[in-house]
Amino acid sequence: MLHSLFKLAAETSSDARRKLLQAVTDLFFCDPEPTGLSKHHYGEIALRALPHLDPQARQGYADEVAAEPNLPRSVANALAGDPDGEVARLVLRLSPVLTDRDLAAIALNQSQDHLAAIAERVRLSEHITDILVERGDNDVLKTVGGNEGAAFTEEGFEKLLDRGREEAAIPLAVAVRSDLSEVRAERVLRVLAELGEQGDIDIASDSEAAAIARLVRRQRLEVNQLIGDLKGGTRPLDDVVIMLAEEDRAYHLAQVLARVSDISVEQVLRALLRRDVSGIALACRALDIGIPGFAAVLALRARRLMFANKDTDEDLRRYAQIEPAAATRGMRFIRMKARVA
């Protein structure tokens, strides 16, 4: 093995560098907890190899390592900032290594393809959405506007709606978000009504905007009813979790879990949609959610985070091994920590 690596390292062709990078990558990611030194050495090899690879080879490598939490940040940045948007796309969308500072630098300087990939990330801070709203084209705005994991400043939200007056698909995407406050929902609907009056949006007999409004309000009422049923003991928590997870209603699921576990919606949503499953597993176990319910949660996460289904069985096995008493103690500590903060 070592002889083969030394031989590949001595060659300078694109194919040899690709094979060397693939071999070193396989070795590096075999270790679930690499040391800082091994990360540094791997990063140096990857950064030296990447300029010698053609776009197709760089994309293949980028897609392979995009979601890896141990990928050196320097390598993640090199891939995310690649001039070829197809190389950068999956890294920008999935990498847990990239910081807000990294994303901001790319969003300020790279193409609309790069911005579109950033807009699809599961979680986006207000700082990043401000940049996307400022620089993004209509496709970027439609994507980030409908992304329930994207937070907006008041200024950013207003600018998003202002730009949506030129493209009806943008406020339509925002309108179906289940996490909108009543105030923001009303603002979106006013924009849609204006567009309808101006003839800039195709309105059906009872108004597309009104139909969207009814859907959003009906879902809010439904969630309130579900929470009431849970408090009254007329509906099992597992049934509610399975229903909302199967309908891909991540925010509403977070609302329900937050209410019954006495922690914030933001905390639950962050645990639900982060790559590390331990946080949401702890919360679900403390609430005594059964295996079918947690399996539905894992399926929702797989859809949102583009996980491979092969991980589900192992996650379920580990979930079953969590002691309920230990999970309850862990949740009690999380509540105390949140109150102090």
Query: CA dist 107 to 103, 131, 319, Å?
Result: 6, 7, 38
Angle, vertex CA 165, rays to CA 162 and CA 169, nearest 5: 115
Instruction: Give the pLDDT of residue 103.
Output: 97
- What domain count does the chain have? 3
Residue 310 reports pLDDT greater than 70: no
pLDDT tens for residues 215-226? 666 777 888 899
Instruction: Give the pLDDT of residue 104.
Output: 97
Q: Which tokens sit at 260?
A: 């019954």
What residue numbers bound the domain in which 254 lies? 236-340
Greater confidence, 56 or 266?
Answer: 56
Residue 110 domain-assigned (yes or no)? no
Residue 193's pLDDT band, with cuts at 50, 70 and 90, is confident
Q: How far is Cα 64 from Cα 237, in angstroms, rounded to an integer?
A: 37
Instruction: Give the pLDDT of residue 296.
Output: 95
Instruction: Give the pLDDT of residue 196.
Output: 65
Residue 154 reports pLDDT greater than 60: yes
Residue 271's pLDDT band, with cuts at 50, 70 and 90, is confident
Is residue 94 domain-shared with residue 36, that is, in the same domain?
yes
In percent, the amount of the chain with pLDDT more than 90 equals 48
Collect all residues with Cβ–Cβ distance below 8 Å to 299 and sequence separation of at least 6. Answer: 245, 246, 312
DSSP 74-125: HHHHHHHT-SSHHHHHHHHHH-SS--HHHHHHHHHHS-HHHHHHHTTSS-B-
Among 189, 218, 247, the domain-final residue is 218
Residue 251 reports pLDDT greater than 50: yes
Collect all residues with Cβ–Cβ distance below 8 Å to 41 and sequence separation of at least 6. Answer: none
Is residue 258 domain-shared with residue 334, that is, in the same domain?
yes
Average pLDDT of span 327-337: 79
Q: What pTM, to 2 d.p., does this model score? A: 0.70
Among 191, 218, 245, the domain-final residue is 218
Is residue 302 domain-shared with residue 253, that is, in the same domain?
yes
Q: How far is Cα 258 from Cα 135, in angstroms, rounded to an integer?
A: 35
Closest CA to 144 of 196, 201, 154, 125: 125
Instruction: Give the pLDDT of residue 330.
Output: 85
Q: 3-state class of 150 per DSSP?
A: strand
Residue 272 reports pLDDT greater than 70: yes
Q: What is the mean pLDDT of the chain?
A: 85
Neighbours of 30 (CB within 10 A): 8
Residue 224 domain-assigned (yes or no)? no
Q: How far is Cα 49 from Cα 171, in angstroms, rounded to an integer?
A: 44
Residue 118 domain-assigned (yes or no)? no
Residue 212's pLDDT band, with cuts at 50, 70 and 90, is low
Instruction: Give the pLDDT of residue 11.
Output: 54
Instruction: Give the pLDDT of residue 307.
Output: 62
Is residue 192 domain-shared with residue 266, that is, in the same domain?
no
Is residue 296 domain-shared with residue 327, that is, in the same domain?
yes
Residue 152 domain-assigned (yes or no)? yes
Residue 229 domain-assigned (yes or no)? no
Q: How far is Cα 188 from Cα 170, in angstroms, rounded to an integer?
A: 10
pLDDT tens for residues 131-143? 999 999 999 999 9
Greater confidence, 46 or 339?
Answer: 46
Average pLDDT of span 231-253: 92
pLDDT tens for residues 18-40? 888 888 898 888 888 889 998 99
Query: CA dist 213 to 66, 182, 193, 296, Å?
Result: 37, 11, 11, 28
Is residue 38 domain-shared with residue 1, that is, in the same domain?
yes
Residue 112 domain-assigned (yes or no)? no
Which amino acid, residue 341? Answer: A
Instruction: Return the minimum-mean-pLDDT range out of 45-54, 204-213, 254-263, 295-304.
Output: 204-213
Q: How far is Cα 50 from Cα 48, in angstroms, rounded to an integer?
A: 6
Collect all residues with Cβ–Cβ distance below 8 Å to 243 and sequence separation of at least 6. Answer: none
Q: How far is Cα 249 from Cα 232, in angstroms, rounded to an integer?
A: 23
Q: Which tokens sit at 222?
A: 């439904």
Instruction: Give the pLDDT of residue 292.
Output: 95
CA atoms within 13 A on the CB side of 48: 14
- Partners of 124 in the β-ladder: 150
Residue 1's pLDDT band, with cuts at 50, 70 and 90, is very low
Q: How far is Cα 293 from Cα 189, in angstroms, rounded to an integer?
A: 35
